[in-house]
Structure 1
């Protein structure tokens, strides 16, 4: 029984490390309501834990409906000190060319990972 438990623990650690290692890095910004219409769902309400995908993720609309875990890793400017957290968001919109972040989060989603005063933060993100 002891050996089985050790094997399970090692497997769990490998899975956890694999998911961390596969995270992509980028930046997140935020936009404010109203969140409709969106490029993916028109006037359908998808709540407020949503995001717009930049060209990097958009893939001609294939990103619509995908979910990402987004974790703040630090501020992009030195003047803002804040703790960083993570959340899960659903892609519902397209962030046009010239978008300032890899993922443009709703204001509510951004405020769960960082202080809104930061405006833009470094992130790691994973497809869920």
Structure 2
């Protein structure tokens, strides 16, 4: 009976790991950032979703299908001359808003999310992003 419980526990851990990671390869794009206030948002109105959030451009918006999706975003380089902006970390953000046609990036990160992965003086960075699949 003990071995059956161990196998069941192992299967649960493996299932959780699969559910929290993406099965797709990372896409590349650019990120910009926006400053508070973060409400209202296109997806959630006046609901507070914290600060690890982002607005989706037309590239990933999908007529509101992006609402609630989570993306792991990593800075991979500068879009202009200057010191390297990347901190070498990644951040997971929740899509809560729409960045309209004037959006200058694939993902418009909250200032807090952007500053977690890059120097905000850069303004715009090259990124890799992966959608997290959570079941």
Q: What band does the TM-score fall into relative to the shorter chain? A: 0.7 to 0.9
2:49 is paired with a residue whose SS is: coil
Structure 1 residue aligned with 2:28, among 25, 28, 34? 25
Q: Does 1:86 align with 2:128?
A: no
Q: Does 1:95 align with 2:114?
A: no
Matches within 5 A, 1:1-128: 22-84=25-87, 85-128=89-132
Q: Which runs of 4+ in 1 moved over 4 A?
A: none
RMSD: 1.7
Please tell me whether the aligned partners of residues 80 and 117 of structure 1 are also in contact (alpha carbons under 8 angstroms).
Answer: no
Shift of 1:98: 2.0
Structure (1 or 2) with the greater helix fraction: 1
In the superposition, the TM-score normalised over structure 2's length comes to 0.78
In the superposition, the TM-score normalised over structure 1's length comes to 0.82
Q: For 2:100 and 2:83, locate their aligned partners in 1 and report how far apart those are by CA, in whole Å.
A: 27
Equivalenced residues, count: 111
Please tell me whether the aligned partners of residues 85 and 125 of structure 2 are also in contact (alpha carbons under 8 angstroms).
Answer: no
Which consecutive residues of structure 1, in runs of 5 or more, have no partner in the other structure? 1-14
Shift of 1:28: 0.3
Q: Give the stretch that moved more between structures: 82-91 or 39-48.
A: 82-91
